[in-house]
Amino acid sequence: MSPGITLASGSASRRALLAGAGIDAASIKPNVDEDAAKAAMRGEGMSVRDQAMQLAELKAMKVSARTPGLVIGGDQMLSLDNEAFDKPADLDAARDHLRRLSGKTHTLETAIVVCENGTPVWRHMARPRLTVRPLSDAFIDSYVEQAGEALLSTVGAYQLEGLGAQLFTKIEGDYFSILGLPLLPLLDYFRTRGALES
């Protein structure tokens, strides 16, 4: 019998990506204090990339310790000049994010870890690079007004699948990873485990 699949996340976008690929995954929020974990990691001088991987693993392990089968933990952090960006707290913070990203290239450190019986069994890191065109203050104000509160759920204050497409001149990396889940390598792993037909 193939192992069940659980997503250790409350992320609607990750759930939608799995469902769109035909994965019927349960979803359990891991109840991890991400702010405290990030503060500790940043206090140690940990790279943005390693922070994302550690958080993905922490989420997966927490849920996997009490949930049978394969548990997916994911995390995504935006890195601009080796500085981590967190989700904006309000729309003013979203405007500030966009001003800082304007005319620059940033990396989305997109980590995924699969755990089984509380132990990591597979890890993957995708690192899409996105170049934001120079943005005028007038455009930023209009964009934030149109996109609204949805911007507060993303580290970059954009959603590529919506109005956020207008921000970029160049994107390197796959679409699924930009949305927060490196789906193709994950599906490959599930096939090797017999969780999906090969």
Distance CA 114, CA 61 (A): 8
Provide the 8-state DSSP code for 180.
Answer: T
118 pLDDT higher than 80: yes
Residue 2 confidence (pLDDT): 61
CA angle 24, 29, 30 (to 5 degrees): 120
Coil/strand/helix, residue 190: helix
Q: What is the mean pLDDT of the chain?
A: 95
pLDDT score recorded for residue 90: 97
CA atoms within 13 A on the CB side of 114: 23
Q: Which residues does the annotation mark as catalytic?
A: 75
- Region 25-51: mean pLDDT is 95
What CATH topology corresponds to 5-192? Maf protein (3.90.950)
Q: Is 57 left (phi over 0), alpha (psi -120 to 50) or beta?
A: alpha
Domain boundaries, the chain: 5-192
Q: Where does 62-155 show beta strands of DSSP type E?
A: 70-80, 83-85, 105-116, 119-126, 129-132
Q: Supply the pLDDT for residue 13.
A: 85
Q: Output b/e per residue, 121-147; b: 16+ Cβ within 10 A.
A: ebbbbbbbebebeebeeeebeebbeeb
Distances (CA, A) of 13 to 17, 152, 176: 6, 14, 10
Q: Are 38 and 58 in contact (CB under 8 A)?
A: no
Q: Tens of pLDDT along 42-90?
A: 999 999 999 999 999 999 999 999 999 999 999 999 999 999 999 999 9
pLDDT of residue 169: 97
Asked whether the predicted pLDDT for residue 155 surpasses 80, the reply is: yes
DSSP 104: -
Which tens digits make up the pLDDT trace of 67-79? 999 999 999 999 9
How long, in residues, is the chain? 198
Percentage of the chain modeled with pLDDT above 70: 99
pLDDT band at 3 (very low <50, low <70, confident <90, very high): confident
Rounded-to-integer distance, Cα 68 and Cα 177, Å = 26
Mean pLDDT of 158-187: 95
Between CA 154 and CA 165 the distance in angstroms is 14
Predicted local distance difference test score (pLDDT) of residue 10 = 85
How large is the average pLDDT for residues 109-128? 97
Q: What per-residue confidence (pLDDT) applies to 17?
A: 94
- The answer, yes or no, to whether residue 153 has pLDDT greater than 60, is yes
pTM of the model: 0.93
Q: What HEC string does 11-79 produce?
A: CHHHHHHHHHCCCCCEECCCCCCHHHHHHHHHHCCCCHHHHHHHHHHHHHHHHHCCCCCEEEEEEEEEE
